[in-house]
Chain A
Amino acid sequence: MIDLRGITQIYQGPQGPVEALRGIDLHVTPGEVFGIIGRSGAGKSSLVRVINLLNRPSAGQVMVAGRDMTQLSDAELRAARREIGMVFQHFNLLSSRTVYGNAALPLELAGMAPDKIKKRVDPLLDMVGLAHLADRYPAQISGGQKQRVGIARALASSPKVLLSDEATSALDPETTRSILDLLRQVNRELGVTVVLITHQMQVIKQIADRVAVIEAGRIVEMGPVIDVFTKPQQDITKSLIDEIVPQELPAGVLSRVRSLAARLEAGASGQLLRLSYAGEHAYEPILSHLIRELGLDLSILHGQIDEIQEQTFGSLAVYASGPMARIGAAIDYLRAQGVVVRTVDVSA
């Protein structure tokens, strides 16, 4: 659906040229929700605007639905943009138009007759749950409702692609969730491909199928969300995930491990293990196997189980004690089951 190749963007800043995007290659498949995450200034806003050419890249190819956007004439580009809806962080609704008038704007711009516009806009407002507020002005509705208008407006011209530029960053957590649910519904029921940028991993976790992590104008990590969550490679990714899956154990856990280690029986050894697992492994009775078959003592010290895209994933900090060889066997067993195991040295 979207193919970006070698996208480079250079701005003329006050202190000379600034490279906002440095050779981005990206492929978004039809019907998926593709998330782009990064800290502010990483280039994600520039990147999403390259897709509908609000930002013309300095170099590279922008293919959307099989057309190279950079090669289109002005009129062709305007037509192509009607097939790409966009929602914005600050909604960008016209204060001079009602909810209905805002949602109708793209169709007016396309020259559609008023009665046809009505036939298209009414069901859309119904879908986003705002039919009863059609005559209100943006100043009279809440932030979440404004974003619903923004989504209805973006969908008015029946686009194939929806770009979301930090659509939930100005909203509270509960409203964020309902807006993301709506985007998900749009994706599933209308088959619209969604590209969203955000700085919040929570957003990626809730809605994206695949995610790209962008830092300093480059994509540093990309893959299915569940993989990125369970096996983050880059430091930036780990720190972004940290808000959802803490990467470091709390100090209290480490001091408890030390006191457990001090009370070990003679001949026994202990090892702190950090386990992370996802998918079907989450339902296997793996830990009870360690206790029953290997005769280990297990203390679960810290842990979290969550769900991404209906797949369970979890992370546990477990202190295993018993004969040294059995602990080694336990680690081998866990790895064979597909669990990511990290041993943590706590001897302070």
Chain B
Amino acid sequence: MFENFSEMMLELFAASLWETVIMVGASGILGALVGIPLGVFLRLTDKGGILQNAPANTVVGGIVNAVRSTPFIILLVAIIPFTRLVTGTSIGTWAAVVPLTLAAAPFIARLVETALREVDGGLVEAAQSMGATTGQIVWKVLLPEAMPGIVAGLTISFVSLTGYSAMAGAVGGGGLGDLGIRYGYQRFLPDVMLAVVVILIVFVQAIQSLGDWVVRRMSHR
């Protein structure tokens, strides 16, 4: 066993791990930057929200659902023109970040919306009684109170993105999943496949533990 682990193969592993980190990290962060405001918007415009607006909520909610319903492998190829527009290329690691971000944002938006829903309406009422503006209610009350839930949601998102990133090989994005498919499966190197799986388990475990630790630090309930 492990006779296939030449020096070249080890370098390939290192490069693939780095590609996975780039894809998951960049799309997770960009997805959060889009998804968190989107989640706030969905919560505020929802029934009973402080900016209740049924038409806006229905339209944005519908788009979010539509993107979430599209299988990632289809999204990946369907938006290639858009990807080329953004990154100038349709292949490579950064080209994979675009569809990953697009998939992550609505997912994060729904998780953030759920976390915001957990914030007691009484706190919003208290802030209103103090003369808070809508912006202040979002920044001083809703987001800080929901932050443990939001971080827990982001942790789930990063783990999901790790899974999605395995499909990035379809656009030459590389990464550990791609390594496993090309070498482990197509060249029939079971030890490479096993190593890929073990590294991914450790990778996901690390994300989850870090997320849990941050949530514990933040939560004062």
A positions within 8 Å CB-CB of B: 52, 54, 77-82, 84-86, 88, 90, 92, 94-97, 105-106, 108-110, 137-140, 153, 157, 163
Inside 8 A of B120's CB, which chain A residues have their CB? 90, 92
B positions within 8 Å CB-CB of A: 120, 122-123, 125-133, 136, 140-141, 144-145, 147, 218, 220-221
Asked, given contacts A105-B140, A109-B140, whether A96 binds B147 with beta carbons under 8 Å apart, the answer is yes
Contact of A86 among B126, B136, B144, B221 (CB under 8 A): B126
- Of listed A79, A105, A108, A140, residue having the most chain B CB within 10 A: A105
A84 touching B147 by the CB < 8 A rule? no
Chain B min CB distance to A40 (Å): 17
Asked, given contacts A94-B144, A96-B145, whether A81 binds B122 with beta carbons under 8 Å apart, the answer is no
Contact of B221 among A54, A79, A80, A95 (CB under 8 A): A95
> What residue in chain A is nearest B137 (Cβ atoms)?
A109
Asked, given contacts A78-B131, A79-B131, whether A92 binds B220 with beta carbons under 8 Å apart, the answer is no
Inside 8 A of B126's CB, which chain A residues have their CB? 86, 88, 92
Chain B min CB distance to A308 (Å): 30
A96 touching B131 by the CB < 8 A rule? no
B129 touching A94 by the CB < 8 A rule? no
In Å, the complex CA distance between A78 and B131 comes to: 4
Inside 8 A of A86's CB, which chain B residues have their CB? 126, 129
Chain A min CB distance to B76 (Å): 38
A78 touching B144 by the CB < 8 A rule? no
Some 24 contacts from A to B, beta carbons below 8 A apart, are A54-B128, A77-B131, A79-B131, A80-B131, A81-B128, A82-B130, A82-B131, A84-B129, A86-B126, A88-B122, A92-B120, A92-B125, A92-B126, A94-B144, A94-B145, A95-B145, A96-B144, A97-B144, A105-B127, A105-B130, A106-B131, A109-B140, A139-B220, A139-B221
B123 touching A92 by the CB < 8 A rule? yes
In Å, the complex CA distance between A108 and B147 comes to: 20
> What residue in chain B is nearest A102 (Cβ atoms)?
B126
In Å, the complex CA distance between A86 and B126 comes to: 8
In Å, the complex CA distance between A85 and B130 comes to: 7
Contact of B131 among A88, A109, A140, A153 (CB under 8 A): A109
Inside 8 A of B140's CB, which chain A residues have their CB? 105, 108-109
Contact of A109 among B125, B136, B144 (CB under 8 A): B136
> What residue in chain B is nearest A156 (Cβ atoms)?
B130
Asked, given contacts A92-B120, A92-B123, A95-B221, whether A110 binds B145 with beta carbons under 8 Å apart, the answer is no
Asked, given contacts A88-B122, A90-B122, whether A95 binds B129 with beta carbons under 8 Å apart, the answer is no
Contact of A94 among B128, B131, B141, B218 (CB under 8 A): B141
Chain A min CB distance to B147 (Å): 7
Chain A min CB distance to B143 (Å): 9
Chain B min CB distance to A83 (Å): 9
Chain B min CB distance to A160 (Å): 14
In Å, the complex CA distance between A153 and B130 comes to: 9
